[in-house]
Amino acid sequence: MEELKERILAEGSVMSNDVLKLDALLNHQVDPQLIMRMGKEFADLYRTEGVTKVVTVESSGIPVAFTTAFELGVPLVFARRKKTLLADPDSLIERVPSFTKGIVTDIMLSRQFVTENDRILFIDDIIANGDAARGMIRIIERSGATLVGVGIVIEKCFQSGAQAIRDQNIRLDSLVKITSLQDGQITFG
């Protein structure tokens, strides 16, 4: 998505050799028109796949997952992050480490909203090492639903997450690939 590359160059800032700050585009502020176009891109990729629900994890995945769901005409379900958990037999929970935050969180999805009849498109904003994504994929598998694919806005190719998911024979599409952040330079793939 050329437009998104231009916006990343203009509004992103390289924090280190592996972290790109994207508060202006994804993590703190969003441009609704741009997010709508991202949702259209994902919807176009999956339009013939019989998707019944779009799933993401709060918080930064929600805007683009919403526009994707809107374009596909299906509900959006966002998994919640929980610091403390009340035992809830109706919830699917996975514990995941977080790359940027350096903490462990539990992500939770109610069985009420994803069932074995669903065909799920999982959307997220950024993939790094893929811990959160793998947790979400495990939850979808445990629900009995079919995971049709994973749509990621920005794939950091120099970290292992996206490839590890593809290696599980799961379809993964990203709108922009970043191959390096070395020396403050953003290199696209």
- The binding site for ligand G4P (CB under 6 A) comprises 19-22, 27, 57, 59-61, 98-101, 125-133, 156, 161
Choose the contact partner of 155 out of Na ion, ligand G4P, none; CB within 5 to 8 A by kind. Answer: none
Under DSSP, the state recorded for 18 is: S
Would you list which residues are annotated within the binding site for xanthine?
Answer: 20, 27, 156
For ligand G4P, the closer CB: 130 or 151: 130
- The binding site for Na ion (CB under 5 A) comprises 60-61, 124-125
Handedness of CA 17, 23, 42, 62 (dihedral sign): positive
| Shortest spacing between CB 116 and ligand G4P, in angstroms | 25
Query: Residue of minimal CB distance from Na ion?
Result: 60
For Na ion, the closer CB: 72 or 128: 128
Choose the contact partner of 71 out of ligand G4P, Na ion, none; CB within 5 to 8 A by kind. Answer: none
Please list, in sequence order, all residues whose beta carbon lies within 8 angstroms of the beta carbon of residue 8, skipping any fewer than 6 positions away: 20, 22, 25, 154, 176, 178, 186
Structure tokens at 125: 């904003």
CB 56 within 8 A of CB 123: yes
Which residue, 80, 61, 60, 59, is CA-closest to 69?
A: 61
Please report, for residues 6, 68, 173, the alpha-carbon distance to residue 166 in angstroms, rounded to integers and kept in the order given: 27, 21, 10
Q: Prior bond to 91 cis, omega within 30? A: no
For Na ion, the closer CB: 72 or 133: 133
For ligand G4P, the closer CB: 27 or 146: 27
| Shortest spacing between CB 171 and ligand G4P, in angstroms | 17
Would you list which residues are annotated within the binding site for 5-phospho-alpha-D-ribose 1-diphosphate?
Answer: 128-132
